[in-house]
């Protein structure tokens, strides 16, 4: 399991700055299959059927609720596109990478 998946998200209020391009590049290397698109962290998860897709979406919703950090999701019959960015700071934060690692850990179960 990625070490990021063991961390907890921290509130991004009160002057937290978005990660620099260098920080984003370094953290992106620790995630498999994630890419940057328009300043967002993005990954497409494939599934065998709709039931598996929805099971992943529901479990990810629970993780997002616990971390208080929520992705944008695009759900299809056999896939789910997950996008993270920290709206409160207008960029990427460590929380985005923590939650991406947690999504990957969930997918591996």
Check which CATH number belongs to the domain holding 91 and give it.
3.30.1360.20
Give a yes or no: residue 2 inside a domain: no
Round to whole Å and give the CA distance between 36 and 34: 7
Count of structural domains within the chain: 1
Q: Which residue segment(s) compose the domain that 48 sits in?
A: 42-109
pLDDT by residue for the chain (109 residues), tens only, comes to 678 898 898 887 766 789 999 999 999 999 999 999 999 999 999 999 999 999 999 999 999 999 999 999 999 999 999 999 998 898 999 999 999 999 999 998 6
Q: What pLDDT sits at residue 16?
A: 76
Contacts of 79 (CB under 8 A, 6+ apart): 44, 45, 46, 47, 53
Q: What is the pTM of this model?
A: 0.92
Burial of 95 (0-12, 13-18, 19+ CB in 10 A): buried
């Amino acid at each position: 399991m990625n070490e990021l998946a063991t961390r907890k998200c921290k509130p991004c209020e009160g002057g937290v700055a978005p990660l620099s391009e260098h920080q984003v590049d370094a953290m992106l290397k620790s995630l498999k299959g994630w890419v940057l698109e328009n300043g967002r962290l993005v990954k497409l998860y494939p599934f065998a059927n709709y039931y598996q897709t929805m099971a992943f979406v529901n479990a990810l919703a629970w993780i997002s609720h616990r971390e208080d950090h929520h992705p944008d999701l695009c759900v299809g019959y056999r896939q789910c596109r997950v996008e993270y960015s920290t709206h409160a700071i207008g960029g990427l934060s460590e929380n985005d990478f923590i939650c991406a690692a947690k999504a990957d850990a969930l997918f591996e179960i």
